[in-house]
């Protein structure tokens, strides 16, 4: 009972710490506002190009294995919102491998706060705001109002899967020495696979995309659920997100125990 | 001219130290090819030809277009950094032309990028789809067109990079340029898939002479198309070569370097 209460207190403390850190991060935008506006708007324009591409494609071929243009737009809503949300809140999610490899973990270990959450939130990814804004606008245009609550849940679950996957790839640095390239390519790979219609994949590829490289759970399943809700797939997605996050935390925590400091001396300004 | 050849040679040899980087880059392109092969298979189901392209022609087209566009080394960021931190002043004193130095350097890296991506991609496509009726006599003409396409791409990229003299981050503009190559440049799909009005506009813009035209000549070669593409590529290279030179001259004139 006491252990449970302690654990609840610890989660509460971490959540409060993250919220305060996030507020400070938001304030820092004002300091770097030109850079923020540039990066966020360029990501927004980048996303527009993809919409133009798919508009051209579906103008010529109205359906690909039962996916129509609005399904692709729903897919873009999910991926830009989920990727944008992870980047906005956990801006360092792509840099875990580099932080471990370069010995920068020492800084986080020396502080009394929980190290993983501290690493993740200690950077703000400006371009992620562009993604998030783009996703929200696209959702308003293409997703029926009645489905917005479901969309919100699906985006949150997709975000958890992206975050868990990023932590797993980044934490491999504890075991491989450096997983920077693997993490970069893995994250680019999952983002790419999640940005194309899931309906074109079949057989073994489909199984692969629902397990090892879970791009199917990030956009494919959410789009299918938005088209036609199915409790079985919804619960499966929730369970998968929980498993990925759980595995990622275990791999990271075990990795920290193996970690040897590089005695790096640097200044954080 | 000899010194630029030597710069290219040194960078070519140096590049082998980063073979892993090239390899990961090629693997990523294979992933894209795999996705598009699946997508086009779904689109082609029951159809033999779409706008004059068979399924295998479409996938080989994609391989060529992707190999050209994605083989470009990220020298825009490098030039951007050199201008921002003043390192360019150090390079201006060297006994070479700054633009030609970057041309030689980036081209050597590009050749490795292109070759590796193309070979790995060709193996994958041959395994997934099979070959196509490639005209072996077109090889020499294609190499020429590829060289011109990459040269044109270099001058457009360099003119963007040199805008760093005025802009804080010209790399973002390169980002937009990349997306133009992907879409109206015809890297992702040939212009025949576009609505007629858009295909007409995209067909005269320089972007399509970097991706679309060389890739189309690769899968469907004709001497008439070759001479057309050759002439327009040369014209665009002259135009963008001049633009690059003007930007460079004006940029250097306003260069202020703090000692240190």
Distance from CA of A193 to the nearest CA of B (A): 7
Q: Do A200 and B35 touch (CB under 8 A)?
A: yes
Say which of B182, B195, B198 has its CB closest to residue A49: B182
pLDDT tens per residue across span A173-197: 998 877 888 888 899 989 999 999 9
pLDDT tens per residue across span B41-88: 999 988 889 999 999 999 999 999 999 998 888 788 888 888 877 788
pLDDT of B184 over the 80 cut? yes
Distance from CA of B6 to the nearest CA of A (A): 31
- Farthest-apart Cα atoms in chain B, separation: 69
**Parent domain of B237:** 2-257
**Average pLDDT estimate for B186-198:** 94
Closest by alpha carbon to A248, among A158, A181, A161?
A161
Q: How confident is the model at residue A1 (pLDDT cuts 50, 70, 90)?
A: low
Least confident of A150-164, B56-70, B71-85, B230-244: B71-85
Helices (H), A1-91: 2-31, 33-60, 69-89
* CA dist., res. A115 & res. A91, Å (int): 15
Q: Do B41 and A200 touch (CB under 8 A)?
A: yes
**Average pLDDT estimate for B140-167:** 93
* CA dist., res. A164 & res. A146, Å (int): 29
**Average pLDDT estimate for B140-144:** 96
Q: How many domains does chain B have?
A: 1
* CA dist., res. A218 & res. A75, Å (int): 9
Q: Do B28 and A188 touch (CB under 8 A)?
A: yes
Q: What is the pLDDT of residue A154?
A: 98
Q: Above pLDDT 90, what percent of chain B? A: 55
Least confident of A133-137, A199-203, B237-241: A199-203
- Taking CA–CA distances from A48, the nearest residue in chain B reads B179
Contacts of B194 in chain A (CB under 8 A): 56, 60
Query: What Cα–Cα distance (Å) separates residue B166 from each residue in A175, B102, B171, B253?
Result: 45, 20, 12, 12
Higher pLDDT, B141 or B18: B141
Burial class (CB in 10 A: 0-12, 13-18, 19+), A109: exposed
pLDDT of A217 over the 80 cut? yes
* CA dist., res. A48 & res. A27, Å (int): 28
Least confident of A31-45, A66-80, B15-29: B15-29
Residue B255, Cβ neighbours under 10 Å: how many? Answer: 13
Q: Do B43 and A188 touch (CB under 8 A)?
A: no
A32, A56, A177, A182: best mutation site toward chain B, by most B Cβ within 10 Å? Answer: A56
Residues A215/A194, Cβ–Cβ less than 8 Å: yes
Say which of A59, A64, A189 has its CB closest to residue B31: A189
- Farthest-apart Cα atoms in chain A, separation: 64
Q: Do A35 and B20 touch (CB under 8 A)?
A: no
Q: What is the pLDDT of residue A242?
A: 97
**Average pLDDT estimate for B233-253:** 94
* CA dist., res. A94 & res. A63, Å (int): 34
Q: Do B172 and A57 touch (CB under 8 A)?
A: no
Say which of B24, B179, B198 has its CB closest to residue A185: B24
pLDDT of A73 over the 50 cut? yes
What interface predicted TM-score (ipTM) does this complex get?
0.83
Distance from CA of A130 to the nearest CA of B (A): 13
pLDDT of B205 over the 80 cut? yes
Q: What is the mean pLDDT of chain B?
A: 88
Q: How confident is the model at residue A267 (pLDDT cuts 50, 70, 90)?
A: low
- Taking CA–CA distances from A42, the nearest residue in chain B reads B172
Q: Encode B172-209: b = buried (16+ Cβ within 10 Å), e = exposed.
A: bbbbebbbbbbbbbbbbbbbebbeeebbeebbeebbbb
Closest by alpha carbon to B140, among B217, B238, B58?
B217
Higher pLDDT, B75 or B115: B115
pLDDT of A87 over the 60 cut? yes
A57, A178, A184, A202: best mutation site toward chain B, by most B Cβ within 10 Å? Answer: A57
Residue B250, Cβ neighbours under 10 Å: how many? Answer: 13
Q: What is the pLDDT of residue B257?
A: 59
Phi and psi at A64, nearest 5°, equal -120, 110
Q: What is the pLDDT of residue B260?
A: 43
């Amino acid at each position: 009972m006491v252990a449970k209460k302690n654990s609840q207190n610890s989660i509460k403390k971490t959540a409060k710490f993250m919220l305060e850190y996030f507020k400070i991060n938001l304030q820092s935008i004002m300091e770097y506002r030109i850079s923020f506006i540039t990066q966020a708007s360029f990501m927004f324009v980048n996303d527009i190009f993809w919409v133009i591409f798919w508009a051209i494609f579906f103008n010529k071929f109205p359906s690909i294995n039962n996916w129509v243009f609005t399904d692709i737009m729903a897919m873009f809503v999910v991926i830009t919102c989920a990727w944008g949300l992870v980047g906005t809140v956990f801006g360092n999610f792509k840099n875990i491998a580099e932080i471990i490899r370069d010995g920068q973990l020492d800084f986080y270990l020396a502080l009394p706060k929980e190290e993983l959450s501290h690493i993740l939130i200690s950077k703000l990814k400006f371009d992620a705001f562009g993604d998030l804004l783009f996703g929200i606008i696209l959702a308003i245009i293409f997703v029926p109002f009645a489905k917005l609550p479901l969309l919100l849940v699906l985006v949150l679950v997709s975000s958890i899967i992206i975050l868990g996957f990023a932590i797993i790839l980044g934490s491999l640095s504890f075991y491989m020495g450096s997983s920077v390239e693997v993490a970069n390519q893995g994250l680019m790979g999952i983002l790419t696979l999640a940005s194309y219609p899931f309906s074109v994949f079949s057989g073994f590829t489909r199984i692969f995309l629902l397990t090892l490289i879970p791009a199917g759970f990030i956009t494919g399943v959410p789009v299918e659920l938005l088209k036609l809700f199915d409790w079985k797939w919804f619960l499966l997605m929730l369970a998968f997100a929980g498993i990925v996050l759980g595995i990622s935390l275990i791999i990271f925590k075990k990795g920290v125990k193996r970690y040897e400091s590089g005695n790096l001396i640097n200044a954080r300004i | 001219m000899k010194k630029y050849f030597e710069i290219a040679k040194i960078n070519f040899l140096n590049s082998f130290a980063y073979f892993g980087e090239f390899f990961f880059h090629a693997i990523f392109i294979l992933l894209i090819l795999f996705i598009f092969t699946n997508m086009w298979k779904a689109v082609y189901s029951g159809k033999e030809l779409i706008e004059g392209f068979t399924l295998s022609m479409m996938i080989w087209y994609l391989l060529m277009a992707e190999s050209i566009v994605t083989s470009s080394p990220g020298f825009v960021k490098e030039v951007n950094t050199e201008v921002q931190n003043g390192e360019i002043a150090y390079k201006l004193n060297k006994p070479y032309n700054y633009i030609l130095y970057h041309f030689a350097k980036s081209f050597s890296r590009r050749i490795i990028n292109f070759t590796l991506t193309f070979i790995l991609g060709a193996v994958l496509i041959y395994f997934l789809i099979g070959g196509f009726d490639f005209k072996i006599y077109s090889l020499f003409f294609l190499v020429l067109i590829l060289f011109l396409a990459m040269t044109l791409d270099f001058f457009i990229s360099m003119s963007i990079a040199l805008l760093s003299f005025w802009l804080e981050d010209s790399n973002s503009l390169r980002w937009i340029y990349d997306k133009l190559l992907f879409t109206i440049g015809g890297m992702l799909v040939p212009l025949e898939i576009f609505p007629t009005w858009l295909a007409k506009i995209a067909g005269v813009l320089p972007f399509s002479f970097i991706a679309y035209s060389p890739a189309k000549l690769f899968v469907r070669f004709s001497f008439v198309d070759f001479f057309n593409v050759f002439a327009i590529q040369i014209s665009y290279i002259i135009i963008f070569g001049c633009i690059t030179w003007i930007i460079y001259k004006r940029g250097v004139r306003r260069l202020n370097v703090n000692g240190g």
